[in-house]
């Protein structure tokens, strides 16, 4: 994981394009902040309506499950999430909007799902929930809902900056049999069509979300795997640090945009 010297980034960002908004970390090809659009804006009105109506949004079925799990005792301690965190509507407000975050005990960023499992192991003395399983998705979506409408705001400091740089490198790196980078579709060609479908900008504003293609709620990691498979690249296993680092970059790239979890996407 290389560390780009601050001065090098500063000096190369200015001549590359006119609208340099974030001087310290901007690089050519990035979508100007004011041009950013959520995947919601690329959907048909029918699918948007599905997301907007809590009685029609299939993701809400997972949120209901998540609420029940939040209040259910588990582990050797027979504690529920609520026993420590109380009402999620208060204690989890804004939390998903600032993840991935550095886990206080460790030094690497973790996503919400990993954080839940850390809590389960340390506080509830419970087994970790299977990654991408229904229960973990349910709790993640319940936590995600508590940030609905709030601006994405991941902390960028000495702790996270190296991971952010790493995540950006991943985003710009060509890979797979098609030799494509994320940036080539989602920075350079968003709004154009791929197999008849519009290419969105790739902001993780709504995760975990109900993807019509999956007929199920799934995490950002599942969607990233779809992308990697689509590019004919090797996909990492669920829980891989690569996904968390990439998510950190994507959340920083989407900073200020509103959380929509649980979203609906085609």
Partner 1 sequence: MTVPTRRQILISAVALIGGTGMSSLLAIKPTWATPAMMRAAIRKVIGEAPLRKGKVRLDLPPLIENGNAVPMTVSVDSPMTEADYVKAIHVFNEKNPQPNVLSIRLGPRAGKAAISSRIRLADSQTVTAIAEMSDGSFWSDEADVVVTLAACVEGI
Partner 2 sequence: MARALINVPASAKRGEVIEIKTLISHPMEPGYRPNSTGEILPRDTINLFVCTYNGEEIFRAELSPAIAANSFIAFSTVATASGKLEFKWTGDNGFSATESVAITVE
The pair of structure tokens assigned to 207 is 């995760």
Q: Where in the sequence numbering do the catalytic residues fall?
A: 227
Output the smallest distance, CB 216 to partner 2, in A: 7
Among 19, 83, 122, 214, binds partner 1 (CB under 8 A): 214
For partner 2, the binding residue among 12, 68, 73, 194 (CB under 8 A) is 68
184 is a site residue for partner 1 (CB under 8 A)? no
Q: Would you list the DSSP string of 169-192? A: HHHH--BTTTTB-HHHHHTTSTTS
Least distance to partner 2 from the beta carbon of 259, Å? 21
In the chain, beta strands by DSSP E = 101-102, 109-110, 193-194, 197-198, 209-211, 216-218, 264-265
* Partner touching 227 among partner 1, partner 2, none, CB below 5 to 8 Å by kind: partner 1
Q: Which of 31, 60, 114, 233 binds partner 2 (CB under 8 A)?
A: 60
Contact with partner 1 (CB under 8 A): which of 5, 15, 196, 256? 196
For partner 2 (CB under 8 A), the number of binding residues is 14
Pairing of strands 209-211, 264-265: parallel
Single out the residue of 155, 227, 236, 258 in contact with partner 1 (rule: CB under 8 A): 227
Stretch that binds partner 1, among 13-21, 78-86, 140-148, 210-218 (CB under 8 A): 210-218
Q: Check binding of 123 to partner 1 (CB under 8 A).
A: no
- Please state the closest distance from residue 265 (CB atom) to partner 2, in A: 14
70 contacts 139 by C-beta, under 8 angstroms: yes
Nearer to partner 2, 12 or 212 (CB): 212
Interface segment toward partner 1; rule CB under 8 A; list 7-15, 27-35, 168-176, 212-220: 212-220
Q: How far apart are CA 104 and CA 177, in angstroms?
A: 39
Beta carbon of residue 120, minimum distance to partner 1 (angstroms, whole number):
28
Name the phi and psi angles at 216, rounded to 5.
-160, 165
Nearest to 260 by CA among 56, 59, 31: 59
Dihedral, 45, 47, 51, 53 alpha carbons, nearest 10: 70
Q: Which two tokens stand for residue 130?
A: 């299977």
d(CA 238, CA 236): 7
Q: ∠ at Cα 24 (12, 154), nearest 5°?
A: 140
* Contacting positions for partner 1 (CB under 8 A): 43-47, 49-50, 58, 194-197, 199, 211-215, 225-227, 229-231, 265-266
Binding site for partner 2 (CB under 8 A): 53-56, 58, 60-61, 64-65, 68, 134, 210, 215-216
């Amino acid at each position: 994981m290389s560390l780009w010297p601050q001065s090098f980034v500063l000096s190369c960002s200015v001549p590359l394009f006119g609208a340099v908004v974030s001087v310290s970390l901007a690089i050519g090809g990035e979508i100007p902040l004011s041009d950013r659009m959520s995947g919601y804006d690329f959907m048909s009105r029918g699918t948007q309506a599905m997301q907007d109506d809590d009685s029609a949004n299939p993701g809400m079925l997972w949120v209901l499950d998540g609420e029940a799990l939040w209040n259910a005792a588990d582990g050797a301690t027979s504690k529920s999430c609520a026993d420590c965190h109380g009402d999620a509507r208060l204690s989890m407000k804004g939390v998903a909007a600032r993840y991935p975050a550095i886990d206080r005990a460790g030094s690497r960023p973790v996503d919400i799902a990993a954080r839940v499992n850390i809590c389960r192991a340390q506080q509830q003395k419970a087994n970790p929930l299977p990654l991408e399983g229904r229960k973990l998705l349910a709790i993640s979506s319940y936590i995600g809902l508590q940030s609905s409408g709030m601006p994405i705001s991941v902390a960028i400091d000495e702790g996270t900056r190296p991971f952010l740089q790493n995540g950006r490198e991943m985003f710009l790196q060509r890979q797979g049999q098609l030799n494509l980078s994320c940036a080539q579709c989602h920075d350079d060609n968003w709004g154009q069509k791929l197999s008849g479908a519009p290419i969105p900008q790739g902001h993780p504003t709504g995760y975990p979300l109900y993807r019509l293609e999956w007929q199920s709620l799934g995490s950002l990691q599942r969607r990233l795997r779809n992308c990697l498979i689509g590019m004919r690249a090797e996909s990492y296993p669920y829980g891989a640090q690569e996904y968390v680092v990439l998510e950190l970059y994507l959340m920083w790239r989407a900073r200020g945009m509103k959380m929509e979890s649980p979203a609906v996407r085609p």
